[in-house]
Structure 1
């Protein structure tokens, strides 16, 4: 009897592992295919041979400019920003045990946006200053959100409601900054706020790429403690997890990634919100959804950008397409949670 039970447990574990590996591999293949399409599609369609020759350093008239200057930076911005948004959203949703607990809804992205818009339309600072201001504002927003959510005890429902209110207040600050800004700054600010890969340049991408490459391994290493945090404070502590230190490391890594991604591409709507639940449905239970959620984020951003560029007569920024996808799901979640009494 005991042997049968152990065999069933081991079989279930192997099945879950195979499912995780299969789903992650498929998501990676789809991400690579979309990266290839980003380089392939445009006003002029170049063959795979030409694309490879350009990427390996060969100079080809017309193709080099189109691929290296326009398409490659756009693809890399979507790749790393999408991964950052997807991974960070999954971390917050898992850590706080609520699908609404993501940087978009909690006001973290909007806090970074306020700092960026202030730097763009009021101070007229360099891109480097915008990056630093966005990261600091994101961290400040998280700190403010935490302290506003504490009364006698910590409540997830209160955290989400405070975050939604904070997001609305910060949105009003952005509206005020746009109203008092000079006319020639408004177009740049709105392009940034809509969440767009247009105008991405290679010299703007190193901070985003470095941040993702540095923070992602840290969050992956904390994948098991993150899963235990989902069981609750007492259960995680009883299993030997230093909950405060783990949360601080996860929050710092996630906020840094999402703040730098926001500073690079603008606040691409709902990617952080959608990636985690989609990854959880695909992977199932038993394994961390951090990496799959990052890959889902890549797929959402790149696919939405391709749709925005080529599916309509008018070209739309990527944030408009992801917003159309995410808004109905947000309404559905709010209705479902209200019926369950989670608020």
Structure 2
């Protein structure tokens, strides 16, 4: 995360002008690298061109690089799984554009859309969960707890059961349902502004209302309609194609950089609304921007794969403990979510010979212990009620 550099002491400014244009400004006395200050696990840097400064946390950088490598391995592993077995070196060759023609067709045409969907869905869910948990200062404030995923599911099930598609695809209906639920939660939580605590309480209530409506629609629907609805509700990557991947990829290309840029303002919100406002942060505007960004990520992700359970809840908490930070790190949370979805999809494809489970079943089994652990930890800390 970068931010505008603070004003330099006059002597440093004069020295910098006397030496002419350069990439790094002179380091303070005692530092080993020009433009870099060391403080424990952190490295503070300051650049003259472009004029930015920031802090690098070595452990966080190491965790992100490790997660990136592990995610790439899981991505290739998923591409190698199927009725036509392919080795990992052959998968890498096919991705690079050379190798056996049959292998390239299987990897790039048949399996790549599914793997790309899993990668992007996990990235979107992990980042969205990190935004909501940090904004609300509560590890329980994830999109699948405050009703956004449930609202998307209710909209899709209603369109299947009642035939109210209006010519729209399932992905579009799911996106509209998530956005509508977010608006309802935000408006109901508004009282001279919103707080993370009210958003959680209102979101939990809206979540149960959406779940009840979904159960009612499934109960009154026909057998085939109910099967189609349940198949989407558990979260599934089977049969994904580029028509479902491309909109999610475009959304991630826009919203992920926005989420990273909002990181500094997000951290000031952790100090409390009064302190954040005193530091010059537009609290309500920042919270609205963070909420819209998180809703957009979770809505496009859910529209592409269905409501994959517990990824948005568990991934930020796993990333926070790996990085050793006081809040869920945004990028590391997204990489953790991508890794969890890809590995879970491999398990779903391999668990039952001759058949494939929906990935949402596997993430639900893995995520339930994380939820129980968070509740137990909250109770031990005296905040669990």
Return 63-72 or 291-300, whichever deviates more: 63-72
Alpha-carbon distance in 1 for matches of 2:69, 2:226 = 39
Matched, 1:316 2:357: yes
Deviations 1:231-276 (A, max 9, x none): 2111211121111221111111110111111111010000000011
The match for 1:179 is 219
User: 2:263, 2:330 within 8 Å by CA — same for their partners in 1?
Assistant: yes
Alpha-carbon distance in 1 for matches of 2:40, 2:61 = 15
The TM-score, its normalising length taken from structure 2, stands at 0.79
The match for 1:257 is 297
The TM-score, its normalising length taken from structure 1, stands at 0.88
Unpaired segments of 5 or more residues in structure 2? 1-28, 31-35, 45-55
Higher helix proportion: 1
The match for 1:248 is 288
User: 2:314, 2:371 within 8 Å by CA — same for their partners in 1?
Assistant: no
User: 2:320, 2:329 within 8 Å by CA — same for their partners in 1?
Assistant: yes
Higher RCO structure, 1 or 2 (CA under 8 Å, sep 6+)? 1
Matches within 5 A, 1:156-305: 156-285=196-325, 289-305=329-345
CA spacing shift, 1:186–1:271, aligned 2, 3 Å = same
Alpha-carbon distance in 2 for matches of 1:298, 1:162 = 29
Q: 1:135: Cα distance to partner?
A: 2.7
Matches within 5 A, 1:96-115: 96-115=136-155
Q: 1:142: Cα distance to partner?
A: 2.1
Unpaired segments of 5 or more residues in structure 1? none
Return 52-61 or 282-291, whichever deviates more: 52-61
Two-structure CA RMSD over aligned residues (Å): 2.8
Report the secondary structure of 1:309's partner residue. helix
User: 1:51, 1:67 within 8 Å by CA — same for their partners in 2?
Assistant: yes
CA spacing shift, 1:330–1:52, aligned 2, 3 Å = closer
User: 1:227, 1:288 within 8 Å by CA — same for their partners in 2?
Assistant: no
CA spacing shift, 1:107–1:321, aligned 2, 3 Å = same
User: 1:110, 1:171 within 8 Å by CA — same for their partners in 2?
Assistant: yes
CA spacing shift, 1:131–1:311, aligned 2, 3 Å = closer
Alpha-carbon distance in 1 for matches of 2:349, 2:164 = 29
CA spacing shift, 1:241–1:288, aligned 2, 3 Å = farther
61, 73, 89: which one pairs with 2:113? Answer: 73
Report the secondary structure of 1:205's partner residue. helix
User: 1:79, 1:298 within 8 Å by CA — same for their partners in 2?
Assistant: yes
Alpha-carbon distance in 2 for matches of 1:169, 1:98 = 22
Aligned pairs, number? 339
